Amino acid sequence: MAEPILTVDHLVKSYDGKTNVLDNVSFAVKPGEVIVVVGPSGCGKSTLLRCLNGLEPVQAGRVKLGSETVAYGGRNLAALRQRIGMVFQSYELFPHLTVLENILLAPTKVQKRPRAEVQQEAEALLDRVGLLAKKNSYPRELSGGQKQRVAIVRALCMHPEILLFDEVTAALDPEMVREVLDVMLDLAREGKTMVIVTHEMQFARAIASRVLFLDDGRIVEEAPPADFFDHPQTERAQRFLRTFTFDAVAKQ
């Protein structure tokens, strides 16, 4: 049986030293798995992803990538982050750089890879997501969905072992949401290892290997998607899913 790529062991995170935003969170991610984290707003989902990438210090527990500990301020953090791709809700593209320059920056400057090699790969990935014609455009000239697809290509060009997606469709209109989710579904079909925070429940059901339901900083339920969505075991998960169904109907 394959060893986990990522292991989260009894993680505790607090911003004020009094209230735990993450409270004893533990789970593991194996190669090729897609872990989808769902839960109400403010339950700690985005904080969890930031801790997985060493962007936040924690008060207890640890995150391990393979056999190495990922820790805020750790000596090997820069090297470990190259192995963990992160795609943010707000794109985080450099506005003064073109699409292609945004993608080439980290592989050429951080990984010291030959520009010609990275450019060939970047252009192939841009073509795959339908954006090759935009390679010389600036972020301000792109739609939200296009910016997010560029951010995904940028992460892929670093050849990460695992990809983290933090509410990447939250700021997009429905048509743009579909553009981005289709790219992520393709990555899942290729066997990419991913941890995804999302409010898109139908997408979560379609893409997840396992669903983690987070509430008040704790994993309340962990199950395959069919079990979680059809037969949630806890009253809190049942209530959450009823609310989602009501919201979905109300928006139609």
Return the ∠ at Cα 47 (arms to 43 and 52), rounded to 5°: 130
pLDDT above 90: percentage of residues in the chain: 85
| pLDDT value at 54 more than 70 | yes
pLDDT of 32: 96
User: What pTM was computed for the model?
Assistant: 0.92
Grade residue 250 by pLDDT with cuts at 50, 70 and 90: very low
Q: DSSP of the chain, one letter per residue?
A: -PPPSEEEEEEEEESSSSSEEEEEEEEEE-TT-EEEEE-STTSSHHHHHHHHTTSS--SEEEEEETTEEE-TT-TTHHHHHTTEEEE-TT----TTS-HHHHHHHHHHHTS---HHHHHHHHHHHHHHTT-GGGTT--GGGS-HHHHHHHHHHHHHTT--SEEEEESTTTTS-HHHHHHHHHHHHHHHHTT--EEEE-S-HHHHHHH-SEEEEEETTEEEEEE-HHHHHHS--SHHHHHHHHHHHHHHHHH-
Residue found under tokens 């192939």: 124
Q: What is the pLDDT of residues 147-160, one digit of tens each?
A: 999 999 999 999 99
Average pLDDT over residues 124-147: 95
Rg, the chain, Cα only: 18
For residue 245, the model assigns a pLDDT of 53
What are the pLDDT digits (tens) for 163-190? Answer: 999 999 887 888 888 889 999 999 999 9
pLDDT, tens digit, 9 for 90 and up, residues 110-127? 999 999 999 999 999 999
Residue 193 clears pLDDT 70, i.e. is over it:
yes
List all residues 6 or more positions away from 211 whose beta carbon is below 8 Å from its beta carbon: 35, 36, 37, 38, 204, 221, 222, 223, 224, 225, 228, 229
Domain covering 6-92+163-251 assigned CATH 3.40.50.300 in the classification: yes
* pLDDT(247) > 60: no
Query: What digits encode the pLDDT tens for the residues 208-241?
Result: 999 999 999 999 999 999 999 999 999 999 999 9
pLDDT at 252: 34
Residue-level pLDDT at 249: 35
- Judge whether residue 75 has pLDDT over 90: no
Separation of CA 135 from chain center: 24
Instruction: Give the whole-angstrom CA distance, residue 248 versus residue 168.
Output: 19
The answer to whether residue 206 scores a pLDDT higher than 80 is: yes
Q: What is the dihedral of CA 237, 241, 243, 246, to 10 degrees?
A: -160
* d(C-alpha 100, C-alpha 202), whole Å: 32
Phi-psi map region of 42: left, alpha, beta (phi>0 left; psi -120 to 50 alpha): left
Average pLDDT of the residues of the chain: 92
Residue 251 — pLDDT band, cuts 50, 70, 90? very low
Between 156 and 250, name the one with better pLDDT: 156
